[in-house]
Chain A
Amino acid sequence: MSGATALTGHPGKPGADRDFTDTVVGFARTLRHAGVPAGHERVQAMLAALAHLDVLAADQVYWAGRLTLCSDPEDLPRYDAAFALYFSARGAGPGRPASNPPRVLRAAPFELDPDAAAEQREENSPTFSVQASRHEVLRHKDVSVLDRDEREQLQRLFALLAPRVTGRRTQRYEPAGRGRIDLAATVRRMLRQGGEAARLSRRRHRYRPRRLVLLIDVSGSMAPYADSLLRFAHAATRCRPAGTETFTVGTRLTRITRELRLRDPDAALAAAGRAVPDWSGGTRLGDVLKAFLDLWGQRGVARGAVVVLCSDGWERGDPAELGQQLARLARLAHRLVWVNPHKGRDGFAPATGGMLAALPHIDNLVAGHSFAALEQLAEVIAHA
């Protein structure tokens, strides 16, 4: 353990309480800039945790923060990076090196707040210099400055879309006119009526909508459609926030479910735009689908769900790999719907390598190139 004076500004003066709190609060601020939602309550928890630990041991400070401020595996690399940055800048050795420095690139965290970025640049830390080359490395499409005039009319229509998903029988019951006898309700009724079983209460299984999973290709060839597909995803998320999961696929997989939960469609799309690092890049559908299945799908996100994959099937990788992954996905999902905007064009034949590999595994192939086509997609989902 590198016996660092991590938390106290004055070495050997552990009683400096105010200093100690300031340090933790400052660290939480850095962490928020890095994209970890470490709120006030979590900071309180970290301070409480430190009360039980040795604040002079960098390792224990590391764990106190990690256990209380993080809440997601995605937070961990950001936390490691922020911890290394913050405490090394304060002249104390970090408890441990950032476990996986290259992943910081992917999170691209410090760019979210220009002021914080400037601060950190002044400190000239090596961690930051890696991220500074954002323009060369990752092409962000600037969704936040969308040309509103052109699309305003159409965008208002998206608010009317309410893609709903069919139900699935659950283990839970609801009262019903016929079905099996509901013992609990019957007894309750008996008690009300002085112990006489005048009428039996019955119950039946309740139906719940299936989960909807949207995988949206944001590669260059799909760029003209990405905006409307994301708006569709936002409409679905608005409809059922807990039951909708959205991911973008391209050269990598990005989960944008959280971003799309913002109520305002423009704010949600702008947030999604910032989260997605591979706008208008290439497509490695097979690999990215594999990443989706490994990280999310197989664990349960895709199980029994209605999965909608929006792509034109221009696959840069191996179509055989794509076929394999789609077979996996089809086994997990209740229904697999492929949205190909080119299907709306005259003379469309599913001829791209990716499409040919996909055909045996998909249940529906729909167009989705216009608003009307998206309404049709909502229909398909509703009856999947």
Chain B
Amino acid sequence: MPAVEPVTDPAALSDALRATGYLPDEGLATAAYLAIRMHRPLFLEGDAGVGKTSLAQALAEVTGAELVRLQCYEGIDAAQALYDWDFPRQILHLRAAESTGDAGRETADQLERSLYSRRFLIARPILRALEHAPSVLLIDEIDRADDEFEAFLLEVLADNAVSIPELGTIRAEQPPLVVLTSNRTREVHDALKRRCLYHWVAHPGFEREVEILRRRLPEITDSLAREVARAVRRMREVDLLKPPGVAESIDWAQALHLLGARSLDPERAAATLGAVLKYQEDAVRIRDTVLAELAG
């Protein structure tokens, strides 16, 4: 892990992120810098596979913090995001107290208090992030959660504290750096966005994508990296159902490399198309256009 230095300006943060293998553009570096300095959550939107989640990982590495990830899904609630009581252990404790006769000696009040103590509390991601300092809390795909969950999240993010009725309030000594990501499957409520720094993550430019490929996959040849980046760039221009993100181009380059490719040839490209395109309709279109150009 690299030495943790306080970041002094966006450029310094950008360099630090680069050192971990994440190549941010100017906007993203500024956004992350302000999130750290202003203690505001960072709200990232963008197509799938443009590196929203990896930014949180890179930030955790740069700041020497633990990464706590909360994957959102439909129906997620406080018990899965925040904390839960360990009911089986509580019952065991109760039975044990009964059988050893402790139950008689202790007052019912004391027994109940011992049941609702910290050791029977299971910390779910948000509570864990609040308890561990420093930490980066990644709330992934917030758009998948229900809107009630946002209201609840708002409360936690505003106070950096969780109040547990039976136990009291647990407050973060050092608030976690919060990164929220969304794929825009639905619109996240304005009240939540207003508390965040908002950044739209775009696909990287050609040079940056080549650099990302070279960093992530040092074993591939330079010409393969450039040709994959160029082909993927072309694919994004063609009107696809799911344009490939950086994650897909990395997968593709790796697949090609594993097949022994030193540059992008049409046969291997066609054989590995499943690594980069995830719809049959898209694959057909690309075979007719980009791959045909490659062969031609």
B186 touches A60 (CB 8 A): no
**How long is the Cα–Cα vector from A48 to B34 in the complex, in angstroms?**
9
B198 touches A67 (CB 8 A): yes
- A70 contacts across to B, CB distance below 8 A: 198
Give the contacting residue for B198; candidates A48, A71, A328; CB below 8 A. A71
- B95 contacts across to A, CB distance below 8 A: 195
A59 touches B183 (CB 8 A): no
A301 touches B31 (CB 8 A): no
- A45 contacts across to B, CB distance below 8 A: 38, 40, 197
A63 touches B185 (CB 8 A): no
- Count of A residues near B, CB < 8 Å? 42
A63 touches B183 (CB 8 A): no
Q: For chain B, what secondary structure do more than half of its interface residues adopt (helix, strand, loop), or is it mixed?
A: helix
A177 at the interface (CB under 8 A from B): no
B38 touches A49 (CB 8 A): yes
Work out how many contacts link A and B, with CB atoms closer than 8 A. 100
B73 touches A68 (CB 8 A): no
List A48-85 residues whose CB lies under 8 Å from chain B: 48-49, 52-53, 59-60, 63-64, 66-68, 70-73, 76
**How long is the Cα–Cα vector from A172 to B78 in the complex, in angstroms?**
11
- A170 contacts across to B, CB distance below 8 A: 74-75
**Contact residue range for chain B?**
35 or more
B75 touches A49 (CB 8 A): no
Give the contacting residue for B26; candidates A41, A63, A257, A298; CB below 8 A. A63
List B169-195 residues whose CB lies under 8 Å from chain A: 183-187, 190, 193-194
Stretch at the interface among A129-137, A149-157, A184-192, A267-275: A184-192
Give the contacting residue for B30; candidates A60, A71, A184, A328; CB below 8 A. A60
A112 at the interface (CB under 8 A from B): no
Give the contacting residue for A67; candidates B88, B190, B197; CB below 8 A. B197
- A63 contacts across to B, CB distance below 8 A: 26-27, 30-31
Give the contacting residue for B73; candidates A64, A171, A184, A191; CB below 8 A. A171
Q: Which residue of A lies closest to B37 (CB)?
A: A52
**How long is the Cα–Cα vector from A190 to B112 in the complex, in angstroms?**
12
User: Could you tell me the distance in whole angstroms from the C-beta of A194 to the nearest C-beta in chain B?
Assistant: 7
User: Could you tell me the distance in whole angstroms from the C-beta of B121 to the nearest C-beta in chain A?
Assistant: 13
B40 touches A53 (CB 8 A): no
Q: Which residue of B lies closest to A290 (CB)?
A: B239
A298 touches B241 (CB 8 A): yes
Question: Given that A66-B27, A67-B34, A242-B147 are contacting pairs, would A299 and B241 also be in contact in the complex, using a CB cutoff of 8 Å?
Answer: no
A300 at the interface (CB under 8 A from B): yes
Chain B 82-112 per-residue mask, 1 if CB under 8 angstroms from chain A, else 0: 0011011011001100100001000010001
- B199 contacts across to A, CB distance below 8 A: 66-67
A252 at the interface (CB under 8 A from B): no
B185 touches A300 (CB 8 A): yes
B33 at the interface (CB under 8 A from A): yes
User: Could you tell me the distance in whole angstroms from the C-beta of A198 to the nearest C-beta in chain B?
Assistant: 14
B193 touches A67 (CB 8 A): no
**How long is the Cα–Cα vector from A39 to B193 in the complex, in angstroms?**
12
B131 at the interface (CB under 8 A from A): no
Question: Given that A63-B26, A67-B198, A70-B198 are contacting pairs, would A191 and B183 also be in contact in the complex, using a CB cutoff of 8 Å?
Answer: no
- B115 contacts across to A, CB distance below 8 A: 191
B140 at the interface (CB under 8 A from A): no
B248 at the interface (CB under 8 A from A): no
A71 touches B190 (CB 8 A): yes
A335 at the interface (CB under 8 A from B): no
Question: Given that A195-B98, A299-B183, A300-B185 are contacting pairs, would A52 and B33 also be in contact in the complex, using a CB cutoff of 8 Å?
Answer: yes
A356 at the interface (CB under 8 A from B): no
**How long is the Cα–Cα vector from A179 to B7 in the complex, in angstroms?**
54
A300 touches B197 (CB 8 A): no
A172 touches B77 (CB 8 A): yes
A231 at the interface (CB under 8 A from B): no
**How long is the Cα–Cα vector from A41 to B197 in the complex, in angstroms?**
12
B206 at the interface (CB under 8 A from A): no
B143 touches A67 (CB 8 A): no
- B88 contacts across to A, CB distance below 8 A: 183
B194 touches A41 (CB 8 A): yes
A303 at the interface (CB under 8 A from B): yes
B152 at the interface (CB under 8 A from A): no
A42 at the interface (CB under 8 A from B): yes
List A181-236 residues whose CB lies under 8 Å from chain B: 183-184, 186-187, 190-191, 194-195, 208
Q: Which residue of A lies closest to B48 (CB)?
A: A299
Chain A 16-53 per-residue mask, 1 if CB under 8 angstroms from chain B, else 0: 00000000000000000000010101100100110011
A195 touches B147 (CB 8 A): no
**How long is the Cα–Cα vector from A60 to B172 in the complex, in angstroms?**
31
A73 touches B34 (CB 8 A): no
**How long is the Cα–Cα vector from A52 to B146 in the complex, in angstroms?**
34
List B30-45 residues whose CB lies under 8 Å from chain A: 30-31, 33-34, 37-38, 40, 43, 45
List 5 A-B pairs, minimum CB-CB distance, nearest first.
A300-B185, A171-B75, A71-B193, A63-B30, A187-B87
Hey, which bits of chain A sit against chain B, CB under 8 A? Answer: 37, 39, 41-42, 45, 48-49, 52-53, 59-60, 63-64, 66-68, 70-73, 76, 170-172, 183-184, 186-187, 190-191, 194-195, 208, 242, 257, 294, 298-301, 303, 328
Please give 18 more A-B residue pairs, beta carbons under 8 A apart, in addition to A60-B10, A171-B74, A183-B88: A45-B40, A48-B38, A52-B33, A52-B34, A53-B30, A64-B30, A66-B199, A67-B27, A67-B197, A71-B198, A171-B75, A172-B77, A184-B85, A190-B91, A190-B94, A242-B147, A294-B241, A299-B185
